[in-house]
Amino acid sequence: MTLYSRITGTGSYLPPHRLTNADLAAELAAQGVETSDDWIVERTGIRARHFAAPDVCSSDLGLEAARRALQAAEVDAKDIDLIIVGTSTPDMVFPSTACILQNKLGANGCAAFDVQAVCSGFIYALSIADAMIKTGAAKKALVIGAEVFSRILDFKDRTTCVLFGDGAGAVVLEASDTPGILASDLHADGKHVGILCVPGHVSGGNVLGKPLLKMDGQAVFKLAVGLLDGAARTTLAKAGKTAADIDWLVPHQANIRIMQSTARKLKLSMDKVIVTVDQHGNTSAASIPLALDAAVRSGKVKPGELLLLEGVGGGFTWGAVLLQL
């Protein structure tokens, strides 16, 4: 009997403080930085984002998302034997956000670690959890994407600070004899480190470099569209499927124009693309599970449907996961 891993519950959480483009533009104007709702909507599709309160960390957002996913899956936290958190905004240098979250959740004892693949973090984490379940190393996993990108934004740089938001999404992934995750595909190319990075580190009790997000938006945009298309096709081919078989594309939510280009290349109608970037902005590793949970809870995405999840981000990292819900 083939062993699969299957998503049995989804959950997500957004911090309550919501800023529309107009709210953010007013705050930026007070600091002499000029932007507008029109520019942000036209170039990105973003209309609002959520920012966490100063004392709220990625583990707090991830915890709420995890609780909701466990509730949806009807799984007790004590039965979880693996926790993987995709994040680039961890609570501390160490221990991992996964360990901090595990303790808050009361799932102490199980394996727990972070995956740092920036906006591809959830795709990486889901692929790893799938592989661990298929080898028998785990039976019930919590896979989480949680970010507080507001902490690493340079609010003097209008080309980046209007794009990102905070949030978390989670899934419970369980061993199953019915599919499940059908195929995945992961990649990285470190030669692109410089086009999307937070070039700071801790040394001797000080932060060296500039620990704020820096991005060459146009270079990222061009690279992203081609890489996502390649990962989508490879993943579909591994499972003997084509784009025409997909019920829903759940892409990383960075920019509506990237999603439109990806859909066009796959000859998919935008009606089959889950879009939440308008309400969440880019929440990095949290964006895919946030979008998935929104689509599941709204009743748009239904059990048994075929979903292609795809992500791209700093590193450069990229990948896709094909699954039957």
155 part of the interface to ligand UT7, by CB under 6 A: no
290 part of the interface to ligand UT7, by CB under 6 A: no
**Which lies closer to ligand UT7 via its Cβ, residue 3 or residue 22?**
22
Rule CB under 6 A: which of 101-120 touch ligand UT7? 119
d(CA 221, CA 314): 12
The pair phi, psi for residue 122, each rounded to 5°, is: -70, -40
**Which lies closer to ligand UT7 via its Cβ, residue 83 or residue 258?**
258
221 part of the interface to ligand UT7, by CB under 6 A: yes
Residue 40 CB partners (closer than 8 Å, separation 6+)? 21, 25, 46, 47, 162
**Which listed residue (65, 162, 225, 321) binds ligand UT7 by CB under 6 A?**
162
Is 192 designated active site? Answer: no
321 part of the interface to ligand UT7, by CB under 6 A: no
Is 255 designated active site? Answer: no
The pair phi, psi for residue 68, each rounded to 5°, is: -65, -40
**Which of the following is catalytic: 99, 110, 119, 197?**
119
Is 119 designated active site? Answer: yes
d(CA 210, CA 160): 15
Strand pairing partners for 267? Answer: none
**Which lies closer to ligand UT7 via its Cβ, residue 173 or residue 228?**
228
Q: What angle do CA 79, 177, 250 make, to 5 degrees?
A: 80
d(CA 77, CA 106): 7
Q: How far is the CB of 109 from ligand UT7 (least distance, A)?
A: 34
User: How many residues at the interface with ligand UT7, by CB under 6 A?
Assistant: 19
**Which lies closer to ligand UT7 via its Cβ, residue 179 or residue 211?**
211
256 part of the interface to ligand UT7, by CB under 6 A: no
Q: What is the dihedral of CA 39, 42, 44, 50, to 10 degrees?
A: 60
Residue 158 CB partners (closer than 8 Å, separation 6+)? 28, 33, 34, 35
Q: How far is the CB of 120 from ligand UT7 (least distance, A)?
A: 9
Chain positions contacting ligand UT7, by CB under 6 A: 35, 39, 43-44, 119, 158-159, 162, 196, 217-218, 220-221, 224, 254-255, 258, 282, 313
Residues catalogued as catalytic: 119, 252, 282
